[in-house]
Amino acid sequence: MMVKSTDVKQTTNIPIYQPNPQQKNPINKKIKQESIIVCSAHNDDFVIGVGGTIAKYIQEKKKVTAIVFSYGENSHPWLKKQVVQKMRSKEAEVAAKILGCKVIIFDLKENHFLEDIKTNHRDEKLQKIFTSLKPNKVFTHSSEDPHPDHRAVHEITLALCASLPVHPELYVYPVWNALTFKTSNPSLYIDIKETFWFKLRALRAFSSQQIHIIYPVFLLLFRAFREGLRIHSRFAEKFFRLK
Ligand SMILES: [Zn+2]
């Protein structure tokens, strides 16, 4: 006699096996969540350079961690160091929440990143973070960036990536100055038409920087629009792949 599943439901408490759609294909089990690290000299660089891409990766269920190397307390020399640190770390946390990523903040002194990283075991702490996150992709500042702290972060990131047993893909991003590599480094364009507004909202979290940020929003809009044209989308972010 045939037993319908509905009959089983009515006559017994034995749970009926329902295959998990995720487990239908055994290959799915092997797919690991992609991990991405974005290295950022100051608390707002990761939003300015990679914000739309971070929000997009989060929508794609990837894990993104922004590492901010300094509080940037020199931005407000008239305020107490602790006050600025608290204010700027709060801003970074709010922005990261809007984008959906995690943020880890270090307290390197501005203009002294390369010396400071070697003190108080900061280099070991950073290495541990990289090792435990096992990044597939790492985004960092460009070696062509005019800001010395950005170039220092570039150098530190390169060394960290080289120390990993599996080398991640390494990309550079622009902050206010466009990437001008005249080399054959391949470009990566990420379509951010659906996440560009998250980037702008996240930027608004940096209220302490507003005097500096009002003008460049137009620059970001123009840049996202220009890169978007290259991939036939409304907005995009462009990166260069170094490794
Ligand atoms: Zn910066």
pTM: 0.83
So what's the pLDDT on residue 25?
52
Domain ranges of the chain: 31-241
Q: What is the pLDDT of residues 6-22, one digit of tens each?
A: 333 444 444 444 445 55
Tell me: pLDDT of 5 over 80: no
Distance 167 CA to ligand 1 centre (A): 25
Q: How far is the CA of 222 from the centre of ligand 1 (A)?
A: 20
Count of CA atoms in the C-beta half-sphere (13 A) of 14: 8
40 Cα: distance to centroid of ligand 1 (angstroms): 7
Give the tokens for residue 179: 């990437």
Residue 210 pLDDT? 60
The residue among 92, 111, 113, 112 whose CA lies nearest residue 103 is: 92
Fold of 31-241: Rossmann fold (3.40.50)
Q: How far apart are the CA of 175 and the centre of ligand 1, in A?
A: 7
d(CA 170, CA 172): 7
What is the rounded CA–CA span in Å between residue 173 and residue 182? 15
Q: How far is the CA of 1 from the centre of ligand 1 (A)?
A: 74
Mean pLDDT across 60-64: 97
C-alpha 78 – ligand 1 centre gap (Å) = 20
pLDDT at position 118 over 70: yes
The alpha carbon of 13 and the centre of ligand 1 are apart by a number of angstroms equal to 61
The answer to whether 157 and 214 are in contact (CB under 8 A) is no
Highest mean pLDDT among 69-78, 180-189, 221-230: 221-230
CA 68 – ligand 1 centroid, Å: 10
Q: Which tokens sit at 190?
A: 């990420």
pLDDT tens-digit series, residues 144-186: 999 999 999 999 999 999 999 999 999 999 998 777 766 678 9
User: Ligand 1 centroid vs 124 CA: distance in angstroms?
Assistant: 23
